Amino acid sequence: MFEFENLGIGGGGLPPELFQEIAKEELLIRIRVEKRKWGREVTIIEGLNDPSIDLKEMAAKLKSKLACGGTAKNGRIELQGNHKERVKELLVEMGFPEENIIIVD
C-alpha cells in the first residue's frame, strides 16, 4: 500500500482506502488486444500506473477469474487470449468507474 504521509499529503487522518478510491476515479484505463507470434492474441490493460495499485496482485486476480496466463510488466497487465469485454466487467466490479475504461479496437 502506498503511504501518502511520506509525500506530505497527510489527508488529516483519512483512511488510505479513501485515497485508493480517489485514485481509481482519476485513472483512464485502456484495454486492447494485440496479435503476437503465430496468431496468438494478448489482452493488454494500460493506465493502471497509480502507486496505490498493486499490478501483480491485480494481474493475479484477473488471471484467476479468467482462467488464463499472464503477467504484470512495464506498468501494464498482459493476459493470454482475447478477454477485453470480460476484463472491463471485472474492473468495474473491482471499483473502477465504467466511463474511465476504454476498449481500443
Phi and psi at residue 103, to the nearest 5°: -95, 115
Supply the range of the domain harboring residue 79.
28-104
Amino acid (1-letter code) at residue 78: E
Confidence (pTM): 0.76
Residue 17 lies in a domain: no
Report yes or no on 66 lying in a domain. yes
Q: Identify whether 4 is part of a domain.
A: no
Tell me which of 99 and 23 has the higher pLDDT.
99
Q: Are 14 and 88 in contact (CB under 8 A)?
A: no
**pLDDT tens digits, residue range 24-52?**
667 899 999 999 999 999 999 999 887 77
92: nearest Cα among 84, 81, 101: 101
Give the number of domains in the chain.
1
In this structure, is residue 16 part of a structural domain? no
Output the domain CATH number for residue 51: 3.30.780.10
What CA–CA distance (Å, rounded) separates 28 from 46? 8
